Chain A
Amino acid sequence: MKDLLTIDQLGADGIGEIMIAADSFAEVCQRPVPKVPALRGKTIASMFFEDSTRTRNSFDTAAKRLSADTMNFSASSSSVSKGESLRDTVETIEAMGVDAIIVRHKSSGAPQQIARWAQASVINAGDGWHAHPTQALLDVYTVRQEGRSFEGMKVAIVGDISHSRVARSNIEAFRTLGADVTLVAPPTLLPPFAESLGATVSHDLDSVLGDTDVLYLLRMQSERMNQALVPSLGEYHRTFGLTRDRARQLPANSLIMHPGPMNRGIEISPEVVDDPRVRVLNQVTNGVVVRMAVLYLVLSSAAAERSGE
């Protein structure tokens, strides 16, 4: 596999392999010197056409713990603003000699396009509203750490599904592993034909909570209000936010997850943030571990394909 662009291309086997490799990297990250020479001599470029300090730092840490050399490229410091095409930009970076390119782009599909032009492996670090496969992998890894079976697990994803790459990739990941996914949102924040994503749709959070194993809250952008998709953030919080009352309805052994950063008082009430069921910091920790596994496996398998094995 040369590139990691979506969860769908992995299948259950591919996700499983990443989980197993992540277990090894979790051990590496607990060592006094959390670093292995696995990708020594490899150069990994991160091309962030959209700012994301968290994801960039997570990938950067992962690459460094694998002993890879890293190169940073951000849209503001590049010639993208001068009207250079995506292909020009990618070919310029590749000419410097890179083995992998980590791409974050505000346009859906940009990593797919780059993967068609680049010899190097392309890893999707989030594209538009489309996909964020490493986020979904770290999310299912976080759930897997609890030692529960995904088969028949009830996952509720709440919030702005329509504009969320995190939602799309998580639907794919949880479904692939056998979980039942319910999307909870007002109709204005659901994509057309939301059921065709392979999930059940609900507009009523309260009716879903009692039968939920994983409650996944999405970040609510304030600009959605200006687009008249919701009347106000206050109304959103009252109808779709995780309030203390709703947290009580949620089963005791359920998990509360969020891709971060959390908007306290919007998708989650401040008094629920410290609930013992919240796994947000585990998600962040696992982000590095899972991204190490992805970089290691994608680069190894890409090289294996090249050498014809």
Chain B
Amino acid sequence: MSTTQILRGGTVTDQRGTRRADVAWVDGVITDVADSIDPPVGSEILDASDAIVMPGLVDLHAHLREPGQEEAETIETGARGAALGGFTAVVAMPNTTPTMDHPSVVRDVLAIAEGASCEVVPSAAMTVGREGKLLSPMGELASMGVRIFTDDGDGVQDAALMLRIMEYASGLAAVTGGQPIVLAQHCEVASLSAGGHMHEGEWSGRLGMGGQPSEAETLMIVRDIMLSRRTGAHIHMQHVSTAEGVELIRHAKADGVRITSEATTHHFTLTDENCATYDPVFKVHPPLRTAADVAAIKAGLADGTIDAIATDHAPHEPHTKEFPFDQAPPGMLGLETALSLATAELELDMATIAALMSWKPAAIAGIGDRHGRPIEPGEPANLCVFDPSERWTISGTEMASRSQNSPYTGREATGRVRHTIFNGDAVVLGGEATR
């Protein structure tokens, strides 16, 4: 073992800035970062010329489907897709079967994830079975390391219950050693979105499709801001999709409310007009919204109102997307395309994108000790090597996922992950997964 590996010829971008540097590591720990490293005998050289070397990406929001829906995705295939997208850690959503609402299920997930292509960070449900009625054993879950609690897939509808969840979470510092608990909310008032399959607007009217109004999202954002203001709980707004939602979060942050938020790749690259094909690959919750919402999300990412880019990677078995639009399940693949789309569609410099996709989400997920670290000697070798000029055609069928539901299939993309280094191992080498 103990081979020295060297990324040679790249440009390093991290929270300390951007500079030309080779990066060397041994046994998963960075040993040298210098303009030009003389390779010791027997060392392994990885080509990083014309590429950007940044801390491995962190996804706050992925559905890996295991346990329960292994036909759509497994932890193994999901993690492989994540690695191909440059991620070294993904937060797994708890809407599995059974629900990740109990230590035994979380332990199973951690056991299955051993040896996967990236770190799988389990989140857990806030309520038993994500039913929005009873508290999950948050204390026990927190004591085994769970930091993110969410009923993702549904918002907690009952305001009184949400208040109690926040109050209870604020008392868990003792079991987490002072680390904060993050309550991640899927902001959707079900009574307003009921019967809707896409954004309620001009396009839903024209297409004759039931709509989900923006207020389904914004009302719950308002509610949770008010409740967080009272309890001091850290609320993380998942997949913010509306311009009004971004504005509410901007104000709340200015007021000092303990709130963070994420936006998904698809909410700043696609709009409700894409639904005009009636192809259920464009069906997602929250729905694709208008061009004005897309502009607001981009502005929110640029000014820091939105803390992170997430994928909401949601695999579905191919035949389920061959049902009519209103019967097909919502969700789309995102892990393998997120970085490429973010660099192409956002007018942001690489360091800002790296912040949104690496160290800021790492901090929210409570894994900032090992992911999203500066690229310096002594730090873990969790790295993403991105070639910003490689041209490729996105294809859902060629992805590592067991599913194919990428809304970007057929799109010509520029910029692709060349290597992903996870704990010192090149889990992706030259664009190919090695595990």
Contact = CB atoms under 8 A, between A and B. Distances in A.
Interface string B181-211: 0000000000000000000111011111101
- Looking at B211, B279, B323, B324, the one whose CB has the most chain A CB atoms below 10 A away is B324
B319 A109 contact: no
Contacts of B140: none
B17 to A, nearest CB: 47
Contacts of A109: 207, 209, 278, 324-325
Interface in B257-311: 277-279
Interface residues on A, range: 20 to 34
A129 B209 contact: yes
A130 B208 contact: yes
A39 to B, nearest CB: 28
Given A87-B322, A130-B209, A113 B278 contact: yes
A112 B205 contact: no
A108 B205 CA distance: 11
B247 interface: no
B36 interface: no
A192 B204 contact: yes
B326 A107 contact: yes
Given A192-B202, A193-B205, A85 B278 contact: no
A117 to B, nearest CB: 8
B3 interface: no
Interface in A187-204: 191-194, 196-197
A129 B208 contact: yes
A128 B208 contact: yes
Contact of B206 (A85, A127, A128, A196): A196
A235 to B, nearest CB: 23
Interface string A99-112: 00000010111101
Contacts of B200: 192
A168 interface: yes
A105 B322 CA distance: 14
Contacts of B395: none
Given A112-B278, A113-B278, A192-B202, A86 B209 contact: no
Given A168-B208, A191-B204, A197-B206, A85 B323 contact: yes
Interface in A252-301: none
A244 B202 CA distance: 36
Contacts of B326: 107-108, 128
A193 B202 contact: yes
B72 to A, nearest CB: 15
A131 interface: yes
Contact of B279 (A113, A131, A168): A113
Contact of A107 (B204, B319, B324): B324
B202 A196 contact: yes
B330 to A, nearest CB: 15
Contacts of B319: 85, 87-88
Interface string A177-194: 000000000000001111
Contact of B320 (A85, A108, A193, A197): A85
Contact of A128 (B205, B209, B277): B209
A192 B201 contact: yes
Interface string A72-109: 00000000000001111000000000000000010111
Contacts of B209: 108-109, 128-130
Contacts of B323: 85-86
20 contacts: A86-B322, A86-B323, A87-B322, A107-B324, A107-B326, A107-B327, A109-B209, A109-B324, A112-B278, A128-B209, A129-B208, A129-B209, A130-B207, A191-B206, A192-B204, A192-B205, A192-B211, A193-B202, A196-B206, A197-B205
A-B pairs, top 9 by smallest CB distance, nearest first, are A109-B278, A107-B324, A130-B208, A191-B205, A129-B208, A87-B322, A85-B322, A193-B202, A108-B208
Interface of A: 85-88, 105, 107-110, 112-113, 127-131, 162, 165, 168, 191-194, 196-197
